[in-house]
Structure 1
């Protein structure tokens, strides 16, 4: 790459984007890579402090920042992710191409960012995403980069690093327990909450059953739901360790595989997760009725994306599992669940 005075650059092809910054007013590109410099451009270059421009003379084993960024983006982007059509200053932005759960292979991401001179930046793994949201970007640091870091990345990273798993609509059976609700002493408050949270992801409660705190009847309704082949069963109420709260025992004795009873998430410590031949059964504690965000907000989208969660998956929520109950909730773009 050769540096020449702008006064001598008329007719030359600009090898890089040129950005102007006016603090508090403007930051943007004024000349694009590939622009053929004209006599009337010289004054503008001088006004933004550019007395010289660079003309790239390609050499074997070197890449322009934009070409390198394209190769990195092709390496890391998987299904459900769209790339920005225009590349600026060696940077490619990534956007969700569908509603779903953002997946990041954190080990491969670390591998790329450990190479040097190339970066990939993303949102957190397992963040619920809407189509069109920006989820990451890659950028090359030098204007002209040696090809070796790119080749090393391509050698070390064989699978995609960023993708979006689709959330699929599901039909849910809601089993609400509690003598106080069953006998009409208080009004059920779970149904509107569960309907709203499922509805946000295109899923629905197809039926609600309100039961007393009787283990055998809860087991019976769980079995009935499984026979109806519902996609998911959510049990609400009776999730504490009080002797008369029998919902956890009923879920355990219904024949499913218990993943966890208890989660390191607040609100949501008394959460239960089980699977019965692949059908998820969620035991949702009472905090879901009155707290804006709970463990349900962390687990539900992953379950709707057909991810089979393990005990380890739930245990990992301890780091970031404290909701601050902010006056203005920005979830999922906050620390909760990260």
Structure 2
């Protein structure tokens, strides 16, 4: 593609680089938009307005215009991926959106490779595993110049085929086990916050279950739970891998996969399982509706993403989240 200034008389068939005012019908001013392929009528109008030269882009053989190129890239990125759709191209841009709730499944290295093919072919996405709602914007493809070489376009599509997808929820029900250290049940603030989180994914929460903060009581609650997901919110913080709630999970025949995470708020989380069902020991900050580390783990688990100890310990960069007023020991 050649980008240069030419006489208006030589501009027919070229792409106008900048919006230009020209003479319109009834002697009124009119604007030819940036990106317009100039016709003989445009040339006549420009000359009538006294415009002598214009900045244009003239395509080389094999160049693909911006909207066609953006559409091609978007189709490649979501090829074979359910639960996502793409918009119609406009101004060299196509958006990729979620069809339903879920988490963004991205092939990060593939997207990096695509962005390295040609500086005019760009893909911007949300963070990997970010929670999405129906219609949520997951990615935008922008072709920066008015056209890109066909070879570069095909190379970009080849390295990132199917790199953007959505993992929808696979769990339907959850049990929240709350513990108490006093005779009375704790306020239901934590339950309401968790209900809101689960509602985003269409997960039903069973009736409220509050038990004494004792190993045996928590164990029995785990054993009787029949939901797809078990959540444990203790009245006092889980301070060790062998504290009351993790010990109760082991007593019930389950396993603790990991304790602790480099995300704040959210440090005191544990992840486990009983049989094939996931168990998440929630940090106290989960009582607040604000984002915390437990959200990142629970959202992936609900959507069937395998979460390992290495995954959790890899959340530290970007894991310093907004502090919450409810915490007992604020950062400052």
- TM-score over 0.5 (shorter chain): yes
**Aligned residue among 130, 133, 136 for 1:133:** 136
CA–CA distance in structure 1, aligned partners of residues 32 and 210 of structure 2 = 61
CA–CA distance in structure 2, aligned partners of residues 101 and 316 of structure 1 = 18
1:280–1:303: 8 Å Cα contact kept in structure 2?
Answer: yes
CA–CA distance in structure 1, aligned partners of residues 32 and 281 of structure 2 = 53
Match of 1:277 in 2: 275
Post-superposition CA distance 1:94-121 (Å, at most 9, x none): 2223222112211101111122232211
1:6–1:53: 8 Å Cα contact kept in structure 2?
Answer: no
CA–CA distance in structure 1, aligned partners of residues 77 and 241 of structure 2 = 52
Change (3 A) 1:146 1:253: same
For the pair 1:164 / 2:166, whether they are aligned, the reply is yes
2:171–2:229: 8 Å Cα contact kept in structure 1?
Answer: no
CA–CA distance in structure 1, aligned partners of residues 48 and 82 of structure 2 = 42
CA–CA distance in structure 2, aligned partners of residues 321 and 191 of structure 1 = 24
Match of 1:152 in 2: 155
Post-superposition CA distance 1:60-79 (Å, at most 9, x none): x4333333322222211233
Kindly state the Cα deviation for residue 134 of structure 1 after the two structures are TM-superposed. Answer: 2.3
2:185–2:210: 8 Å Cα contact kept in structure 1?
Answer: no
Post-superposition CA distance 1:193-227 (Å, at most 9, x none): 222221233222112221112212211221111xx
Match of 2:311 in 1: 313
CA–CA distance in structure 2, aligned partners of residues 243 and 317 of structure 1 = 19
CA–CA distance in structure 2, aligned partners of residues 190 and 52 of structure 1 = 61
Unaligned runs of 5+ in 1: 22-27, 328-338
TM-score by length of 2: 0.80
Runs of 4+, deviation exceeding 6 Å: 43-47
Kindly state the Cα deviation for residue 145 of structure 1 after the two structures are TM-superposed. Answer: 2.6
2:254–2:273: 8 Å Cα contact kept in structure 1?
Answer: yes
Kindly state the Cα deviation for residue 175 of structure 1 after the two structures are TM-superposed. Answer: 1.0
Change (3 A) 1:149 1:216: same
Number of residue-to-residue matches in the alignment? 309
Match of 1:107 in 2: 109
Secondary structure at the residue paired with 1:207? Answer: coil
Match of 1:24 in 2: none
**Aligned residue among 120, 125, 137 for 2:123:** 120
For the pair 1:93 / 2:91, whether they are aligned, the reply is no
1:265–1:318: 8 Å Cα contact kept in structure 2?
Answer: yes
Change (3 A) 1:185 1:105: closer
Match of 1:325 in 2: 323
Superposed CA RMSD:
3.3
Kindly state the Cα deviation for residue 315 of structure 1 after the two structures are TM-superposed. Answer: 0.8
1:239–1:283: 8 Å Cα contact kept in structure 2?
Answer: no
Kindly state the Cα deviation for residue 33 of structure 1 after the two structures are TM-superposed. Answer: 4.2
1:239–1:248: 8 Å Cα contact kept in structure 2?
Answer: no
1:2-81 maps to which residues of 2 (within 5 A)? Answer: 4-7=6-9, 9=11, 12-13=12-13, 15=15, 18-19=18-19, 30=33, 33-34=36-37, 36-39=39-42, 41-42=45-46, 51-54=54-57, 56=59, 59=61, 61-77=62-78, 78-81=81-84
For the pair 1:267 / 2:268, whether they are aligned, the reply is no
Secondary structure at the residue paired with 2:167? Answer: strand
